Structure 1
Amino acid sequence: MQMSNLAIGFLASAIYAQNTTTAPLFNVTAIATVNNASRLQCWTLPSPPRTAAGALSYDIGSSENNFIGILPPRTYKDKTITHPPVVQFTIALTGLIHIQTPYSGLPDSLNEAWVQGGKYGFLIAADTVVSGSVKGHVTEFPSDEPTWLIELPVVGNEAPIHSVVHDGPCGIGDLVGV
């Protein structure tokens, strides 16, 4: 089943309510491929927001074969290096995601992201084997509650158009106001 022009208004509306004069950019933590290794980056997606009924909606493109994943509490992969099967957006509804990119070539402080489920739980995993990532990333779900994820594989298996804000995951300052 394909979803065309998926809008993420439900994520943006709560954040946008505080600032109605200028539309914020949509930043997202990405797991990208740089120099054949997975690397955390903060990306801006150039989607101009639309407004309707007081909510901002950002077009993130089309997705297909969407699914919901429910991971049991404290799910660890023993530091196993992995890659996503395809480029995909992930929305953590609940729980906690811990991501590490130990082979990125960056300082340790830029190789780790903690993503809490909820309004800031939006990620894109683009470090597929097809993209050239030889050394992937580690993902763990250390919460004491189940982690609920919405997975949205991107049609065409290509990362969306974006600008790199900086290496390392987006910080709260990159996300607040989105």
Structure 2
Amino acid sequence: MCSGSHRRELSVLTTRDTISSFECWSLTPSNALSTAPGLSGAMSLTHEMGHFANVTYQVGYPRSGADHQTHVPHFSMYLSGHAEIIVPNGDKAIINSGGNRVILVLDTMETSSTGHFVEYPSHEETVCMNIPTKDGQIPEHRVLYDGPCTMDTVDFTRRGLAELD
């Protein structure tokens, strides 16, 4: 059971005029605090994220990088390591142990002529799981602003959640 609702910002790779770009979104329905035994106070995602039959497990090798274009909209969930995702206008999302580790990737080959560049600049492997959205659908959302979400907008400490009430 979950009670109360809170917004969570999510960096999204999208396409504007056939060029890959970032937007910061708030998904709807939003996260909620769990009241389930053993999970009380934990954030719970109440949006169905996608098909789990098509999950891919990806390893980014240290000090490497590559251009990317995706076939289907998906959530990229970074499990370990460090990645920097860069779009043509120079905006960059940095994913590391201290940051938001989920990106929604929508700049498909059908919509983006450019794609994005992913770099793994650290000395360790970066592990990511890619989970396609259900039926290729884009989740309900509200665009907060252009560009990737900043660390300041993602505060899920108890203090940060209390400020949202």
TM-score, normalization: structure 1?
0.75
Structure 2 distance, partners of 1:118, 1:86, is 28
| 1:57 aligned to which of 33, 37, 44 | 44
Is the CA contact (8 Å cut-off) linking 1:71 and 1:146 kept in structure 2? Answer: yes
Does 1:116 pair with 2:116? no
Structure 2 distance, partners of 1:94, 1:71, is 10
Report the counterpart of residue 57 of structure 2 in structure 1: 68
Count of matched residue pairs: 149
1:21-170 to 2 correspondences below 5 Å: 23-50=5-32, 51=34, 52=36, 53-54=39-40, 55-61=42-48, 62-64=50-52, 65-77=54-66, 80=67, 82-102=68-88, 104=89, 108=90, 111-117=91-97, 120-130=100-110, 132-170=111-149
What residue ranges of structure 1 are gaps of 5+ in the alignment?
A: 1-19
Structure 2 distance, partners of 1:158, 1:75, is 31
Q: Give secondary structure in 2 for the equivalent of 1:128.
A: coil
* CA drift at 1:85: 1.7
RMSD: 2.2
Bigger share in strand: 2
* CA drift at 1:118: 6.1
Structure 2 distance, partners of 1:49, 1:148, is 24
Letter in 1 for 2:86: Q
- 1:86-124, Cα deviation, whole Å (9 max, x unpaired): 11101111111111111x5xxx4xx11211146621111
The 3 A distance-change label for structure 1 pair 58 and 165 is: same
Counting aligned pairs with the same residue, the percent is: 25
Structure 2 distance, partners of 1:63, 1:117, is 26
* CA drift at 1:47: 1.9
Is the CA contact (8 Å cut-off) linking 1:91 and 1:151 kept in structure 2? Answer: yes
What residue ranges of structure 2 are gaps of 5+ in the alignment?
A: none
Letter in 1 for 2:45: Y
Structure 1 distance, partners of 2:24, 2:9, is 7
Is the CA contact (8 Å cut-off) linking 1:87 and 1:128 kept in structure 2? Answer: yes
TM-score, normalization: structure 2?
0.80
Q: Give secondary structure in 1 for the equivalent of 2:135.
A: coil
- 1:16-57, Cα deviation, whole Å (9 max, x unpaired): xxxx9x643021111011111111111100123341231221
Q: Give secondary structure in 2 for the equivalent of 1:156.
A: helix
Off by >6 Å, runs of 4+ in structure 1? none
